Chain A
């Protein structure tokens, strides 16, 4: 990694949801702030800025990561997916998103982006999760509205439907 000067802004380039993006950031700028305020991608939310709540979870090079614990300059050259990438086309929801809507697995929707990003990744790695697997996995996210019960139900339902229609994953 090149040595960066704290005093100035640096050009950061990466692939975001399939498109090349670039903007400038001081080395200390968080990736959350960079995505939200420099690139205008406000779907990724900031709930705690200390890596506990999981609201800011995105996918960096195919791995779920806390954007609030990542510096923008660390993302240079990476491939990043955010919640804005999940829907297959405008006006249509993915199977996972549909399951969340059907099961009322969100209320305020603030934590939802991070949970969707985690689950989207997990269900691709583990298409056959048990409820217990999902419960443990979701343990890395905080939601204060739903009590998690409908989130688990939506995740189980989505897993089942994704197995039935793998092409739509």
Chain B
């Protein structure tokens, strides 16, 4: 019987099989940030077990509130920083070199096809874009991962999400994943891996695949996952060129983590995106999604472009292309947060930052901050945000605030209009990709 990508990865990493169809897997990487890791560190210390399973497999970053906003967040950073120094964790990204975890870790080449990765962060599913099994976990699972390099999961079932058709210009990966969550619902993929495939995924860049996989958890999925291909190899080449004689050789090695033709899936969802238009959320759940045209004119107070979903260079390029020689509406304020220092630096080189600033955007350092209402862009009671982030939960970006999730293009167009719109960006003519 054929196997899915997740089944192949689990098969290569099984440490123990427990009753109730639970598998304990060995981990290739444990990612850490300053919100969920310090409590794990403190607990390990209290237990007299302040150890790490493998210094080289632990990567850590301060990203959620950075620079620290108060004494409490400063202490969270300090606990992580001191721990990284104490254990000689070389891949620790402190202020000045830090970025949003799910953007900076792939950028540094820490994610490879076939890897198993956990992090105390639900959007860890992002890294499945590389053909890895990557799952968010709580602090206890993180603690065991740090100490022992293992984690337990229900043996994975996979949902096949086959995406066909050709995207119209102005429609992006964010619109695709919002439309899929709308179809399957916020628990449509609970306890399963969403395996994305089809010609649309094949044509996507790694950045777009990361946007797709990033929001798998919003449908309840354990991990998103895309089969590794030459796009994956090209992205990783600078990190793996010593390991493989050629890109073709790397591709052949990565074939070990592509699904078999007769793999068995728990469900299959087939989506044709040919007629897909820009999408936006309207309620407090990520499956409350409708075409932007139906929300046209909705008043907004703030626009936010950034996050692990849509704070990468291509996202900034798309938004900037719609902001050039324009000003945001005087009725709104707008914030852009490049997701990593490298993205920020390239955006400077390309003149994107100047376009944002000339348009009236506030440009912040890389941070998760506003997405979860912790810093740098918290909403006031009753305010509305047009946001490229991933969650529209009640109070997510600030108590009493409303969040509308959308693509960077829709967010940029909305910033100019002062209300939700896609009129600037969307046409059903022109070249399809």
Do A and B make up one complex? no
Q: A-contacting residues of B (Cβ < 8 Å)?
A: none
Q: B-contacting residues of A (Cβ < 8 Å)?
A: none
